[in-house]
Amino acid sequence: MATLTQEMKDMIATQQCFVGTVNADGTPNVAPKRSTRVLTDDSLIFTEGTGGATYANIKRGSHVSVSIVNREILNGYRFVGTASLKDDGELYEQAAAMSAKLGMPKPFAVVIIHIDEIHSLKPGPAAGKKIL
């Protein structure tokens, strides 16, 4: 597992994350997941509210990539890992309460992404390179 730095955590808290998965036919799927947040030093979590392609791909076992970029400072990261779904238990209930508070429907699940690798998305020679 790769460990998030404080800079990465701060970026996740303030910028839009995009989650990439692979569809059954092998084509890429990328979706904004505004509920993405840090769960632990080596995992992210988001609420799956639509039950669409991202959800189906993760149910099928797709690897996951989360990208985030701060255009103002020209820096970003790609977090690559495996995902698990939780549709009950404490984390799910917290997500359901948060959705209800925001006037959104009950989520299908929460997705936990266990980070295996972290890549730089900073422009220049380091772009795309594994850093952790």
Does position 132 have pLDDT exceeding 90, yes or no? Answer: no
Write down the pLDDT at residue 100: 92
Write down the pLDDT at residue 52: 95
Share of the chain above pLDDT 90, in %: 90
58 pLDDT tier (thresholds 50, 70, 90): very high
Classify residue 17: in a domain, yes or no.
Answer: yes
Classify residue 28: in a domain, yes or no.
Answer: yes
Domain CATH number, residue 59 = 2.30.110.10
Both structure tokens of 117: 């690798």
- Among 40-54, 66-80, 92-106, where is mean pLDDT lowest? 92-106
The residue whose two tokens read 């990439």 is: 20
Does position 77 have pLDDT exceeding 90, yes or no? Answer: yes
The residue whose two tokens read 């929460």 is: 110
Report the C-alpha gap between 99 and 121 in whole angstroms. 31
Report the number of distinct structural domains present in the chain: 1
Classify residue 49: in a domain, yes or no.
Answer: yes
Beta-bridged to residue 115, according to DSSP, are: 81
Classify residue 68: in a domain, yes or no.
Answer: yes
Which DSSP string do the residues of 82-126 spell out, in sequence order?
EEEEESSSHHHHHHHHHHHHTTPPPPSEEEEEEEEEEEE--SSTT
Both structure tokens of 66: 């989360």
Contact 114, 42 (CB under 8 A): yes
Classify residue 61: in a domain, yes or no.
Answer: yes
Report the C-alpha gap between 16 and 21 in whole angstroms. 17
